[in-house]
Structure 1
């Protein structure tokens, strides 16, 4: 359901703004997705952030407080979820919440449609000996589900705006600009990963997908692991960086598969800026490569002014 909503928002953003290329579409969508604003994507993103967000801080902040009832525990949890590893237990710790008040805040935010739980597919550890005990560090390990924001802009707000709120409210933007310059690429990576899963599954639409999403356990993390009814396994990694991905990245994915003891039908790599010539030569049945331009496939038959569910029901 979340991926469907994200795709609708992605298409709506394109229909309203028609950016020149998919790299711009993804980069600007990661910030403004869900706001339903008309954006001049020929302007630098930092200028648009100033004009549309920073200069309207009080108005937007009031709307976010209305969405969360200005509940301090909800606000702390959203900030922790935005900047951390998305795991629920670690977010509780980062926000200074326990299982009771943290769980209550989490449930409220989920009911309001601001976040959605991404359930872990990790199997609980078991001793090979039915009567044996697990090592202490293994027995203490807790499988933790993760959280995804339903609107890119909401995560952007708590990732970048909330930490600098006091200065932004006073009209001092310099620390925000420095922070954004340093961390923009890392921030955009998650949205790119979510969209990559949508594109992968779109290309597998003739297959019945049994399970899809990121995979994590105590030993390994994989950006996307998709399994179909006919027992085909697709393992994907996503790289939102300004350099071409080379063959070493393929080898790292192979090593992750070995740790999981799985043999993928195909390894898929998504890259912002494409791939080295050496890696490109190896693509085929066992390796598929996608760059930003390939995301145009998600926008087929999109009509101008197509609308999708948005974060704020009225314009800023």
Structure 2
């Protein structure tokens, strides 16, 4: 299949006769009693409103308890997942929880299809692709790339080929910084990982930035830095990584 991404998206998802155009809508209308409210919540999350108060603001549902109830239903259906920073001791009690759409296709549909339904019903696929999808597709794909890198590190951990056996692997953030991947064990060894989905090689600057973010963590015995890149690495970074055992490069 040598079709471009653009052709595939237009034919399968944006075209109103396409197989995937109405799929999420049908699934949810069958499962849920008040689809319009759920749709507004899912759309808010798809546009990156990840915290409860942001979802409340975006949807205009004034009662956070109500929104919480709807989110619980969506989590039971595995449409939405709640994540907390990987280092949190009691995840279910953490106030740092964020909400994400579990499935990349749902993320795409609620971000790009549902909001532009009127154009798509009229068959104006080119406008939606050119004006609404293409400009932000790279950052959308970057988020999926993060998921893939996270999975890759988990697989390597399962095969025992990382510098140590990690007990927990996931995303981490506080109110100032975020790190795409943090893995750690009980002995205070840490891997800090950053995933770069861009068309130029990752270089020393990205490494230095990751090292700076890792300074947020105190009493770490051993630090490793993992960089994942869509477009490879600069010569300088490769040279440095051949001299330093604590740099791991994945492309």
- TM-score interval (norm. to shorter): 0.7 to 0.9
Q: Is 1:86 equivalent to 2:69 in the alignment?
A: no
Partner of 1:151: 103
Normalized per residue, the structure richer in strand is 2
Query: What secondary structure, in the 3-state scheme, does the structure 1 residue paired with 2:74 have?
Result: helix
CA contact (8 A) 2:85 2:173 kept: yes
1:174 CA displacement: 3.0
**Matches of 2:157 and 2:20, distance apart in 1:** 39
RMSD: 2.3
CA contact (8 A) 2:86 2:169 kept: no
Partner of 1:231: 188
Q: Is 1:281 equivalent to 2:239 in the alignment?
A: yes
Any residues of structure 2 matched to 1:1-316 within 5 Å, and which?
40=1, 42-56=2-16, 60=20, 62-69=22-29, 71-84=35-48, 86-97=50-61, 98-121=63-86, 143-178=95-130, 179-205=132-158, 206=160, 208-261=165-218, 263=220, 265-283=223-241, 284-291=244-251
1:106 CA displacement: 0.8
What is the count of residue pairs matched by the alignment? 234
Query: What secondary structure, in the 3-state scheme, does the structure 2 residue paired with 1:144 have?
Result: coil
**Matches of 1:57 and 1:218, distance apart in 2:** 44
1:278 CA displacement: 0.7
CA contact (8 A) 2:225 2:246 kept: yes
**Matches of 2:151 and 2:226, distance apart in 1:** 13
CA contact (8 A) 2:12 2:19 kept: no
Task: Give ranges in structure 2 of 5+ residues lacking alignment.
Answer: none
Larger mean Cα displacement after TM superposition, 143-152 or 59-68: 59-68
Q: What's the TM-score, normalizing by structure 2?
A: 0.84
Query: What secondary structure, in the 3-state scheme, does the structure 1 residue paired with 2:44 have?
Result: helix
Task: Give ranges in structure 1 of 5+ residues lacking alignment.
Answer: 1-39, 125-141, 292-316
1:75 CA displacement: 0.6
| CA gap 1:274/1:229 in 2 versus in 1, 3 angstroms | same
Partner of 1:139: none
1:123 CA displacement: 6.2
Q: Which has the higher contact order (CA 8 A, sep 6+)?
A: 1
Q: What's the TM-score, normalizing by structure 1?
A: 0.68
CA contact (8 A) 1:80 1:92 kept: no
1:71 CA displacement: 1.3
Query: What secondary structure, in the 3-state scheme, does the structure 1 residue paired with 2:142 have?
Result: helix
CA contact (8 A) 1:120 1:146 kept: no
